[in-house]
Structure 1
Amino acid sequence: MLDASRLVILDRDGVINVDSDAYIKSLAEWIPYPTSIEAIARLTHAGWHVAIATNQSGIARGYYDEATLAAMHAELERQVTAAGGKIAHIAYCPHGPDDGCACRKPLPGLLEEIRAALGLESLAGSWMVGDSLRDLKAGEPLGCRPVLVRTGKGRRTEAKGEGLDKTLVFDDLAAFVDWLLGGR
């Protein structure tokens, strides 16, 4: 049985791959940070489970379709597998900010999907790693421990300083993984 305290939930854009204010609209635009794939593999090797929760409103906006998103996620999984890692589940929200869905972060719907897909009773004690406050807020009502990375929009989020009281802050995903696997 999977233990929620051995689960790391990652935002995608800005945490795993380079983000863009113009959206990541194609496989060619999906560029992982040099150390992020290896960081996910290191977590897997150490007995951790990794899931992804990502808002993808570019679908609702018509910038790309679900087949394009599937191609990006297939490449992500291919690279992680090639590095010796595994992604337990990818949950995404295809809706726009005004669609009234329950899955768009900061709402916890994507994390609830991950919880159900992994057969967990709770996500309490798991880690939620993101580059924006909305990522961290999604995990809050479910008992996730918040981690902000400075990649993507992380530096801007940190500079605002709002809502980060109990949040650990790292330069990037690899630095968080170093800390987590280093016994803290």
Structure 2
Amino acid sequence: MKLLILDRDGVINEDRPDFVKSPDEWVPIPGSLQAISELSRAGWTLVVATNQSAIGRGLFGIDTLNAIHAKMHRAIAESGGHIDAVFFCPHAPDKGCTCRKPLPGMLVDIGRRFHANIGDRAMVGDSLRDLQAIAALGGKPVLVRTGNGAKTEAAGNLPAGTRVFDNLAAYVDTLLHPNSEAQP
């Protein structure tokens, strides 16, 4: 199975410093929906792994998160693609859960549910915590410069082997072309 894990905010859609709190605030990054559609058509299983501490902070509830994700699914479907699953951590940072990235609990759960060794897979993210979560399991960290990615790259201290791309579309381009050096 060709499985790719994607962070949501800053990779698929624009990130906001005050959180994406409604469907109206969910705005796709140019090229991301088409990239996901290309992967879907090429037979990839695509899973989103996203921290959603706004729920734990009381900024919105699960119904709002479901509405945001429904908008995302519709937009991707209109582009000809699909997301196979969305995993999220609803906890505030101080709750001590194991599912909140940079801890790898959410990714372990993805591996279990998809019967996949996450150490053989890549995760595309825009923050250090995304990269640390996949690196903790021996997986392949991929940083995109969208969202917080440019700041993350400039700050340095990226996990060993991190690959850096301008955006999701640039990474997908390397995956889908046989002369590419990228490995999922």
Report the TM-score, using the length of structure 1 for normalisation. 0.93
Is 1:77 matched up with 2:69?
Answer: no
Shift of 1:64: 1.1
Query: What aligned pairs does 1:8-23 form with structure 2 within 5 A after superposition?
Result: 8-23=4-19
The CA deviation at 1:7 is 1.1
Match of 1:68 among 54, 64, 69: 64
Q: How far does residue 117 in structure 1 lie from its aligned partner after superposition?
A: 2.2
Assess if the C-alpha contact under 8 Å between 1:90 and 1:114 holds in 2. no
Once the two structures are TM-superposed, the CA of residue 54 in structure 1 deviates from its matched residue by: 0.2
Which residue does 2:97 correspond to in 1? 101
Give the Cα separation in 2 of the matches to 1:110 and 1:164: 19
CA distance in 2, matches of 1:142, 1:79: 31
Separation in structure 2 between the aligned mates of residue 100 and residue 79 of structure 1, nearest angstrom? 34
Structure 2 gaps of 5+ residues are none
For 1:105, what is the secondary structure of its paired residue? Answer: coil
Cα deviation for residue 163 of structure 1 reads 2.3
The sequence identity of aligned pairs, in percent, is: 51
Partner in structure 2 of residue 48 of structure 1: 44
Counterpart in the other structure of 1:116: 112
Deviation by residue 1:114-150 (Cα, 9 ceiling, x = unmatched): 1122233x11221110001100111113222110000
How far 1:111 moved relative to its partner? Answer: 0.8
Mapped partners of 1:51, 1:143: distance in 2: 18
TM-score, normalised via structure 2 length = 0.93
Equivalence for 1:87:
83
- Do the aligned residues in 1 keep the contact of 2:5 with 2:46 (CA within 8 Å)? yes
Deviation of residue 48 (structure 1)?
Answer: 1.2
| Equivalent position SS for 2:119 | coil
Amino acid corresponding to residue 48 of structure 1 in structure 2: W
* Counterpart contact for 2:132–2:159, Cα < 8 Å: no
Alpha-carbon separation, structure 2, partners of 1:34 and 1:164: 27
Q: Once superposed, what is the RMSD of the aligned Cα atoms?
A: 1.1
Match of 1:131 in 2: 126
Q: 1:172 maps to which residue?
A: 167
Q: Point out the more displaced range, 52-61 or 71-80.
A: 71-80
Give the aligned residue type for 1:105.
K
1:141 aligns with 2:136: yes
Judge which range, 77-86 or 130-139, deviates more. 77-86
